[in-house]
Structure 1
Amino acid sequence: MNKEKEINLENLDKKHFLHPTSSIKQQQEDGPAIIFEEGKGIYLKDINGKEYIEGMSSLWNVAVGYGRKELAKAAKKQMKKLSFSSAFSTFSHESAILLAEKIARLAPGNLNTVFFTSGGSEANESAFKLVRHYWLLKGEPERKKIISRKKAYHGVAAGTTSATGIVEFHQMTNSLAPDFLHVDSDSVAALKKEIEKEGPKTIAAFIAEPVIGAGGMFIPDSDYLKGVRKVCDEYGILFIADEVITGFGRTGKMFAVEHWDVKPDLLVFAKGVTSGYFPLGGVIISEEIHDLLKEKSQGTLFHGFTYSGHPVGCSIALKNLEIIEREHLVANSSLMGSELLNGLKKMENQFHCIGEIRVIGLLAGFELYENAQTKTRFSEKVAPKIVAECAKLGLICRSVTYDDSDTIVLAPPLIITKEEIEKVINILKNAIEIVIEDKK
């Protein structure tokens, strides 16, 4: 790479590109952390030719890996045939119809009708509006409150920011939306107590990620989601499963709720549906909800996005889901998740600092302590330093440091192999040795 070109790109980045979920100050002082140029399989390459294992599937979403020619061909074919068509006013097109049917077939329970969006934030926002509309049609307009969990992440639109249970996202603005409540992330009793305190007839829905992702990778106890379903049924409250991160094989099942045999009333998806090759998301609603909408709705449903059901995005999604099924990537997620767990357990035996390993499919996280046995934390967070060292060594991963967390998180592409898992573990070990110098 021409050094002059690299410097020019860095300067242009500083001046013109306001990065999402990034430190503005750090960007101005240091420029972009890495400028990526190409990707293939589980690897990314920067503009200087350095190669990285993308241990987070970028933003949990590049399920089938980079450089899939089939997906590029699907996009090209659809662009040449029908580049765009609105879905407003009941206009329709083949790829959206076929994708809605495909997702309905894959979804658990009687989730059978799909509303398309451009991504996860829009999808969760749509879920909130749809459940409130549902209660209006049922003649219960007082049911408008949404309960979510502390540590949960549901997006950054007005409603989804308010539903997110991570304080830092609330502090970014000064006007959160009303009627959003938060309860402890692992307590059915806390949910029931909040419902009774507020009044069941004021609650529209409870939303939960089956596995908390951005908040630190937390897997629920075996009876938690079943308990949630029971409480929602008891009080007549709708249950929304936010599977933006966990959907389409990430946890070793097509959808994470299948691990606990729980059937939500609405299921939100995005990310893995196109493996990041196109922005696409949506909400799947139950037959009961759809039946009521059909029976009670009058006139127009005044909700929708320009790119709802985008023909190119839907065509890419159909091909992406075909790849996931043909290459048995849901099963590979489960199998390689076991390999990842074994590798992390070996690390735990080697280092004093590793504890609370949490793995489900190809979602993994572990805590860092000065002494994991006594759960004594370091005087300052070390996860960001380890993540930075991993990047130097050729591995992209993530740190989570909200509240007391000092967490490393991994979510590699579903195509990863045993040999590549070993590379990930070896880089992690080397980074920990450099940062902490702590061997048992």
Structure 2
Amino acid sequence: MRTTEELRALDRSAVWHPFTQQLGWAAEDAPIVASAAGCTLTDTDGREYLDGVSSLWCTVHGHGHPAIDAAVRDQLDAVAHSTMLGLSHPPAIELAERLLAVAPRGDGDRELTRVFYSDNGSTANEIALKMAFQWWKIRGEEQRTKFVYLDMSYHGDTIGSVSVGGIDLFHSMFRPLLFEGIRVTPGDVDGLARVFTEHGDAIAAIILEPLVQGAAGMLLAPDGYLRAVRELCDEHGILMIADEVATGFGRTGTMFACSQEGVVPDLMSVAKGLTGGYLPLAATLATERIYEGFLGRFEEFKTFFHGHTYTGNPLACAAALATLRVFEDEDTLGALQPKIALLSSLLDEQVAPLPAVREIRRCGFMVGIELVDFPLEARVGHAVTLAARERGAIIRPLGDTIVLMPPLSIGEDELRALVAITAAAIAAATAAAPTSATVGIA
């Protein structure tokens, strides 16, 4: 067994980490996670940390849940992988049934009835974009090539999903590679109506994160905005794509955020919490109307020519089925409601009064704590995460917005500890940090 220092040296010489400036990474002694149980991560030196971000927003039931562990082990005794190109298998079939059963419900023909599997949120959104594009083309409306997206939106890191991304820090570098979309202001219903009126015949779909723009720093949509977008789409005959990758599976307090405003999209992408954080799996859900548009004789080439090697991987589907069963067996959403209230009160009491905190944005178990202005080079958000790590919690910033997204299964005492550590870390990291005003930055 290699020592922690040997592993760190090897990591620095061989690994390129995502969304990480490697020059700075090489100067840090980040924990190397060796094991995990419940809401606790343990590093190679035996130190324990509360998982305050659900290992990037996906471990909804915590680590090492016995029911999900058992489901994956049982599936290993059957088959670990089988392609879905020309074949199928029980876990994928049964998972599709369960996903559609918990999806947002609509009236008449407004139902999500079909499941197309992939392996992460980016690809799920990429698939939704391609489906919308091809659906219009098959119908003979080839002029409908534009996609509307929100400023500060994030839908993934593949070329199509970046094309409808509105965070310039992440996306502007790649603009020469991308197709051109129409960016609109979040929450501005009148502005969106004008765009639909002016460009309606050229628009294939609008894509948006319902209720919360996660990677933007937990920006909240005004009440009723999602419903208004749905109504505008219906009025102008434009498809609606709901990106529930981050907001799905209980994060906003309901299974899916769309349900809170009675909205059923034409296409809906899910990932992250789908397998409880066990294995990569994503899905794009479609209405029967969309699905039927692709039906035809072989020689008509209406087929949706898209797929992945690990589409609908049996192990991942088994984990996802177990994850959905846990939601039901443990009444996860019902048990979550008092914890949402407790989290809100703890943040109001311990974090909101801190002088370095400008605003707290929260929806369910999605929290963004925006700090006051600090110089970019101070990396205060990062400093807060280091201070939290020293105190026994793993959290992650989006710039100078501190994100909390603990597992839905977190206990009340653990939740109290997480907020207390976060408050102490913010106070410690910002005590000596210069504000923008101090250094003359507007």
Identity %: 36
Q: What pairs with 1:397-408 in structure 2 (closer than 5 Å)? A: 397-401=395-399, 406-408=400-402
**1:335, 1:361 within 8 Å by CA — same for their partners in 2?**
no
Deviations 1:405-439 (A, max 9, x none): x311110001012111110121122213322349x
Q: TM-score, normalised by structure 1?
A: 0.91
What's the counterpart of residue 124 of structure 1? Answer: 125
After the TM superposition, which of the residue ranges 5-14 and 209-218 deviates more from structure 2? 5-14
SS at the partner of 1:244? coil
* Residue equivalent to 1:389: 387
Find the aligned partners of 1:384 and 1:338 in 2 and give their Cα distance.
27
Is structure 2 residue 72 aligned with structure 1 residue 75?
yes
Alpha-carbon distance in 1 for matches of 2:257, 2:43: 33
Match of 1:307 among 280, 289, 310: 310
The separation in 2 between residues aligned to 1:265 and 1:56, in whole angstroms, is: 30
Question: Of the candidates 65, 79, 94, which is equivalent to residue 90 of structure 2?
Answer: 94
Structure 2, unpaired ranges of 5+: 106-110, 433-442
> 1 CA distance for matches of 2:297 and 2:164?
28
Q: For 1:178, give the aligned amino acid.
A: F
Q: Alpha-carbon deviation of 1:348? A: 4.7
Q: Any idea what SS the aligned residue of 1:239 has? A: strand
2:253 pairs with 1:255: no
**Which amino acid is 1:35 matched to?**
I
Paired residue for 1:365? 368
SS at match of 1:415: coil
Residues 204, 237 of structure 1: 8 Å contact kept: yes
Partner Cα distance (1:190, 1:266) in 2: 23
Q: Distance in 1 between matches of 2:116 and 2:33?
A: 33
User: Aligned in 2, Cα 1:259/1:174: closer, same or farther, shift over 3 Å?
Assistant: closer
Asked whether the 8 Å contact 2:148–2:184 carries over to 1, the reply is yes
Give the match's secondary structure for 1:147: strand
Which residue of the partner structure matches residue 434 of structure 1?
428
Whole-angstrom CA distance in 1 between matches of 2:392 and 2:183: 38
Q: TM-score, normalised by structure 2?
A: 0.91
The aligned amino acid for 1:343 is L
SS of the equivalent of 1:351 reads coil
Deviation at 1:243, TM superposition (A): 0.4
Query: Which residue of the partner structure matches residue 265 of structure 1?
Result: 266
Is the Cα–Cα contact under 8 Å of residues 351 and 423 in structure 2 kept in the other structure?
no
Contact 1:143–1:202 at 8 Å: present in 2 too? yes
Q: How far did 1:191 drift?
A: 2.1
Q: Work out the CA distance in 2 between the residues paired with 1:65 and 1:103.
A: 20
Distance in structure 1 (CA, Å) of the matches to 2:328 and 2:177: 41
In structure 1, distance between residues paired with 2:169 and 2:375 = 21
- What corresponds to 1:235 in structure 2? 236
State the match for 1:374 in structure 2: none
The alpha-carbon deviation at position 352 of structure 1 amounts to 2.8
Give the equivalent residue in structure 2 for 1:328: 331
RMSD across aligned C-alpha pairs, in angstroms? Answer: 1.9
Matches of 2:194 and 2:322 in 1, distance apart?
Answer: 45
State the AA in 2 paired with 1:77: D
CA contact (8 A) 2:368 2:404 kept: yes
In structure 1, what is the equivalent of residue 438 of structure 2? none
CA contact (8 A) 1:170 1:176 kept: no
**Aligned-pair CA distance for 1:333:** 2.9
Which residue matches 2:440?
A: none
For residues 128 and 157 of structure 1, the distance between their equivalents in structure 2, rounded to whole angstroms, comes to: 12
Q: Distance in 1 between matches of 2:340 and 2:58?
A: 16
Q: Deviations over 1:6-26 (max 9, x none)?
A: 222112111211111111212
Structure 1 residue 242: Cα displacement: 0.3
Q: Residue 13 of structure 1 corresponds to which residue in structure 2?
A: 11
- Tell me how far apart the structure 1 counterparts of residues 151 and 337 of structure 2 sit (CA, whole Å): 27
1:111 is aligned to 112
- Aligned-pair distance for 1:70? 2.4
Question: Structure 2 vs 1, CA of residues 359 and 420 (structure 1 numbering), >3 Å: closer, same or farther?
Answer: same
Find the counterpart in structure 1 of residue 200 from structure 2: 200
Identify which range, 427-436 or 6-15, moves more after superposition.
427-436
Matched residue SS, 1:367: strand
Separation (CA, whole Å) in 1 of partners of 2:337 and 2:191: 31
Per-residue CA deviations over 1:279-298 (Å, capped at 9, x if unaligned) read: 00010001221233236884
Superimposed CA distance per residue, residues 58-104 of structure 1 (whole angstroms, 9 cap, x where no aligned partner): 11001010012322221222122122211113x11111010001101
Change (3 A) 1:111 1:345: same
* Conserved 8 A contact 1:253-1:331: no
